[in-house]
Amino acid sequence: MLATLPPLPGKFGFALDTGPRPVLTGTSADIRVERSAGGQLILRPDGHPLGRRITDLAADIRALVDWFIASGGVADGRGRMRALIARGVVPPGCDTEPAPPLPLPAPGLYPEGALVALAFGQIQAETLAALAALGHEIRPTPWRMLMLVGATALPDLPSLITDPADPLLRVTACTGAPGCPQAGGETRALARALAPHLPDGTSLHLSGCTKGCARPGPSDLTLVATAQGYDLVHGGRAQDTPSLTGLSPKAILDHLKALHAPSL
Ligand code: SF4
C-alpha cells in the first residue's frame, strides 16, 4: 500500500500502534493508527489529540496523505504532520480520542527479561558484542532500549543505562556537529554534561539546528545550537521562539542551577 502513495518527505513515518493502549505516542511518526478507549481503530495525525474512525485502512491513509499534501504540508520535499497541525490546519472528521497511552517503560527486570536503555539510542560495537556474548536474544524496542529476553539480572556493562532514575533517560540529542553538516554546534557531549544538572522530572532536547530531528514534539527545555551559541526554548520545540539566545555551555549550566534554586 505504501508503494502506491505519492512521494512523501524522507522522514515522514507511520506508527501502527494498535494494542489496547498506545505505546508509541512518544516515538516519531506522522500518521498513527491507534485504538479509541472503546477499541475502535482510529487514524490520528501526529500533533492532534483526536483521530478519525477508520472504515478502510488503506483508503483512509491515502485520504489523509492527500490532505497533508494538498494542505501545504510539504515544502521543498520536506515537512512533518506535527508542523502542519501546529499551523492550525486540521483534517476533517477528527473527533475521537485515543485510549490513554501506556507509560514509557523504565530500564529494569521484567517477567520477559532485562530491559536496558541506550543514551541517544546509540551503542558501541564492543558493548553490543559483550551483550551478545551473554547468550540472550536481544530484542530492539521503539524506546531506545533493548530487551534481553530471559535474562534474570541486569548486565553490568559500560554505557548501558540500567538505573530508571538516570537523568540521561530524559535527554534527547541529535547527531549535531560534526556529524551533521547542518548543525550549528556540538550536541551529545554537552547533553551528557548537562544531564546531571537537570531538575527532577525535567526533559531536555539538545538540537543541532531548528529542524529538531531527534524530537519533533516539545520538551521542558530545548537547546538549539547556532553559530552564536545555544538558544533556549522553554516548553517548546526546536522551531519555536527562544527565550534566551547565544548561550555558552557555562551560561546554560548557570541557568539550570538557577532552576534548582529555592524561590525566596
Ligand atoms: S536537527 Fe539539524 S543538526 Fe540535528 S540532525 Fe537534524 S538537521 Fe542535523
Which of 11, 122, 182, 186 to mutate to test ligand 1, by most ligand atoms within 8 A of the CB atom?
A: 182
Confidence at residue 230, expressed as pLDDT on a 0 to 100 scale = 98
Q: Is residue 93 part of a domain?
A: no
Q: Is residue 101 part of a domain?
A: no
Q: Which of 54, 56, 63, 8 is nearest to 35 (CA)?
A: 54
Cα–ligand 1 centroid distance for 223 (angstroms): 12
Cα–ligand 1 centroid distance for 48 (angstroms): 24
The mean per-residue pLDDT over the stretch 114-127 comes to 96
One domain, residues 38 and 9: yes
One domain, residues 177 and 155: no
Cβ atoms of 156 and 116 within 8 Å: the answer is no
One domain, residues 155 and 196: no
- Evaluate: CB of 208 within 6 angstroms of ligand 1: yes
What residues does 167 pair with on adjacent strands? none
**Final residue before a domain boundary, out of 161, 176, 195:** 161
One domain, residues 179 and 228: yes
Confidence at residue 217, expressed as pLDDT on a 0 to 100 scale = 84
Q: Is residue 103 part of a domain?
A: no
pLDDT above 90 coverage of the chain, percent: 90
Distance CA 16, CA 245 (A): 38
- For residue 216, the domain's CATH number is 3.30.413.10
Cis peptide before 22 (omega within 30 of 0): no
**Final residue before a domain boundary, out of 52, 86, 120:** 86
Q: Could you list the residue range(s) of the whole structural domain that residue 77 is in? A: 2-86
Ligand 1 atom 4: residue of nearest CA: 208
Q: Is residue 102 part of a domain?
A: no
Ligand 1 atom 8: residue of nearest CA: 180
Q: C-alpha grid cell for residue 17?
A: 500502534
ipTM greater than 0.90, yes or no?
A: yes
One domain, residues 116 and 42: no
Task: Please say if the pLDDT value at position 68 is more than 90.
Answer: yes
Q: Is residue 122 part of a domain?
A: yes
- Evaluate: CB of 28 within 6 angstroms of ligand 1: no
Instruction: Please tell me the least confidently modeled range out of 96-110, 118-132, 249-263.
Output: 249-263
Distance CA 182, CA 180 (A): 5
Band the pLDDT of 261: cuts 50, 70, 90.
low
- Average pLDDT over the chain reads 94
pLDDT above 70 coverage of the chain, percent: 98
One domain, residues 250 and 172: yes
Confidence at residue 21, expressed as pLDDT on a 0 to 100 scale = 96
- Evaluate: CB of 242 within 6 angstroms of ligand 1: no
Q: Which of 232, 229, 230, 251 is nearest to 241 (CA)?
A: 232
